[in-house]
Amino acid sequence: MNDKLIVAMDVPNALAGLELAKTLGDSICFYKIGLGMLTSGGLALANELKLEHGKRIFLDMKLFDIGATVEHAVRGIAQYDIDFLTVHGDPHVVRAAKEGASKSNMKILAVTILTSLDRDDLDANLMKAGDIRHLVIERAERAFEAGADGVIASPQEAGFIRALSSAKKKLIVTPGVRPTGAALGDQKRIATPAEAIANGADHIVVGRPIWQSNDPRQAAQSILQDIREASTDR
């Protein structure tokens, strides 16, 4: 089964999440549960999808705090047999998360720069000057040095990260993926599924183009076909 497509369950609540999983059926084996779902039964949903339906789970929490707090939080999350967990890519956060996950198989993915941000957004938030691609590469490299199992970056930067010597055997997971013709929504640094895979992404994350579709299963199947074709060409 192809696990390169991770479907983002950015739906209103856990019941809607279970309904989406039922609609998509065996074609999808990997789901992302984010912060918005956490307060609407997200951990219970993750547990049910994992234990009762055999799905892989990516918990997208983007944790950021002092090291001791991050370590404690990750240790608690690790009890749920989660596959991927995101934290901010600051080295002290990554190191703490890796310590918290040390007795589990959970992979720690470091967020570089959100795919919904561009240079103007970084300037408005008083972030470091410079080309956004270079900043993403720098944050990825520092996260790898701190022990991250992988990074979250836009598909536009995936190829540059994959070229890093420190990226060997590391995961690159890309949100900001939109099939041709799909609405961009709040995403700014995007690419198609095929482009993301060709650029070196191990997994792509797609949400709204699937669950907002009139036929979510067909939308997912179309993306999976794009992935298969791009993977063959690599």
Place of tokens 């490299």: 141
23: left (phi over 0), alpha (psi -120 to 50) or beta: alpha
Residue 43 makes CB contacts below 8 A (sequence gap 6+) with 80
Q: What is the DSSP letter of 6?
A: E
Does the CA dihedral 110-155-8-186 come out positive or negative? Answer: positive
State yes or no: is 170 an active-site residue.
no
Q: How big, in percent rounded to 5, are the helix, strand and coil portions of the chain?
A: 50, 15, 35
- d(Cα 87, Cα 97) in Å, to the nearest integer? 7
* Region label for 97, one of left (φ > 0), alpha (ψ between -120 and 50) or beta (otherwise): alpha
The answer to whether the beta carbons of residues 177 and 205 sit under 8 Å apart is yes
Return the closest-CA partner of residue 189 out of 89, 87, 114, 110: 114
Give the Cα-Cα-Cα angle 178, 7, 172 (nearest 5 degrees).
75
User: Radius of gyration of the chain from Cα atoms?
Assistant: 17
Q: Among the options 4, 32, 55, 62, which is catalytic? A: 62
Tell me which residues are annotated as active site.
62
